């Protein structure tokens, strides 16, 4: 288990438990927009039967869709029904962005069209309230960003993932100078992690989310040891920062990241955005290769922007 870098330090994604629907079966209700819930039943245990009242099968042959895009003529508009189209607002925002940023700064965008040279690689949460470009003011070309549930970095041994692929490209190809892992308040992914109490519970409540956040089990265990006497909300708040440090330590399991950190060409940073009081906490991870145990790691330059 990775050493804890925190000592006594909340809900963006809710996991609704399934309701019982007979032996060996569970039923979940899925609501899309303002539509009526769609019932989805799945038999588990010894049976492989699945009952899906509403099922959409994706075609493996998507060449027809691609041809439609290639044949599309700019300036043509398909008919839109009388309902409100949320993309009309996005179109207006895009046109405003284009005129304020691209048209008025054409030389910069011509350079960006040829290459990107970001100084930052950012690992942030997929939470809609935590956009790093909005929070930290990144402009196009400044930050290579990947977002996932609970802003986690899996260890090198975990194998391929979109996060490890993004790190490989950012560090080895773009040669970024800084990797910044950004966590945040009231993170539903961390709540899911802290709700995993036992191996038995984990095996009986399998989901993509639980499988993913289990990467940070060491942060949960460290939190329970350091803040187990606190209520669940405060434990989650502690773990939100503990998991950032866990991800920073996981970064050092990548050989090409450790090499650059030792050479002084790459720095690892943690950041915590509290959208409740709109503050941002930032720190740097220090890695001492020649030492052993927890003394190999330390935090420096810890500051709060408020």
The token pair at 82 is 């009388």
* Residue that wins the pLDDT comparison between 282 and 5: 282
What confidence score (pLDDT) does residue 60 get?
65
Taking alpha carbons only, the member of 254, 253, 281, 285 closest to residue 267 is 285
Task: Answer whether residue 272 shows pLDDT above 90.
Answer: yes
* β 25-30/19-20 pair status: antiparallel
Q: Give per-residue pLDDT as tens, 49-102.
A: 444 444 455 556 667 766 776 776 665 555 555 677 889 999 999 999 888 877
Largest CA distance in the chain: 67
pLDDT of residue 37: 43
Annotated binding-site residue? 187: yes
236 is in an annotated binding site: no
User: Which has the closest alpha carbon to 12: 138, 147, 112, 146?
Assistant: 147
Asked if residue 125 belongs to a known ligand binding site, the reply is yes
127 among the known binding-site residues? yes
Asked if pLDDT for residue 259 goes beyond 50, the answer is yes
**Measuring CA to CA, which residue among 3, 8, 5 is closest to residue 238?**
8
The arithmetic mean of pLDDT across residues 179-187, rounded, is: 98
pLDDT at 104 over 80: no
Per DSSP, helices labelled H in 73-207 are: 87-97, 106-114, 132-136, 162-168, 188-194, 199-204
DSSP annotation of 35 reads S
Which CATH number is 114-185+239-303's, of 3.30.70.270, 3.40.50.1820, 3.40.1050.10, 1.20.1740.10?
Answer: 3.40.1050.10
Checking if the pLDDT of 301 tops 90, the result is yes
The model's pLDDT over 217-249, given as tens digits with 9 standing for 90+, comes to 999 999 999 999 999 999 999 999 999 999 999
Residue 47: DSSP 8-state: -
pLDDT, tens digit, 9 for 90 and up, residues 17-56: 444 444 444 444 433 344 444 443 434 344 444 444 444 5
State the pLDDT at residue 45.
42
Q: Tell me the per-residue pLDDT of 136-157, one tens digit each, with 9 for 90 and over.
A: 999 999 999 999 999 999 999 9
């Amino acid at each position: 288990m990775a050493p804890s870098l925190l000592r006594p330090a909340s809900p963006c994604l809710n996991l609704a438990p399934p309701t019982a629907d007979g032996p060996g079966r569970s039923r979940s209700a899925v609501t899309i927009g303002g539509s009526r819930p769609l019932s989805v039943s799945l038999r588990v245990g010894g049976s492989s039967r699945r009952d899906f009242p509403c099922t959409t099968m994706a075609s493996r042959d998507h060449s027809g869709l691609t041809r439609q895009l290639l044949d599309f003529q700019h300036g043509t508009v398909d008919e839109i029904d009388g309902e409100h189209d949320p993309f009309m607002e996005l179109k207006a925002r895009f046109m405003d962005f284009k005129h304020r940023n691209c048209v008025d700064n054409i030389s910069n965008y011509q350079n960006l069209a040829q290459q990107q040279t970001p100084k930052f690689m950012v690992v942030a949460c997929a939470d809609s309230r935590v956009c790093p470009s909005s929070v930290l003011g990144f402009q196009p070309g400044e930050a290579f960003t990947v977002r996932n549930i609970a802003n986690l970095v899996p260890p090198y041994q975990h194998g391929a993932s979109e996060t490890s692929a993004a790190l490989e490209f950012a560090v080895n190809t773009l040669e970024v100078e800084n990797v910044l892992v950004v966590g945040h308040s009231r993170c539903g992914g961390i709540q899911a992690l802290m709700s995993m109490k036992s191996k038995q519970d984990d095996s009986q409540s399998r989901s993509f989310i639980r499988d993913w956040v289990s990467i940070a089990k060491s942060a949960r265990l460290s939190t329970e040891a350091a803040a187990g006497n606190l209520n669940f909300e405060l434990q989650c708040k502690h773990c939100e920062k503990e998991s950032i440090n866990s991800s920073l330590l996981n970064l050092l399991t990548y050989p090409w990241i450790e090499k650059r950190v030792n050479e002084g060409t790459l720095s690892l940073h943690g950041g915590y955005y509290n959208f409740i009081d709109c503050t941002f906490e930032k720190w740097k991870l220090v890695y001492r290769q020649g030492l052993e145990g927890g003394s190999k790691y330390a935090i420096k330059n810890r500051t709060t922007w408020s």
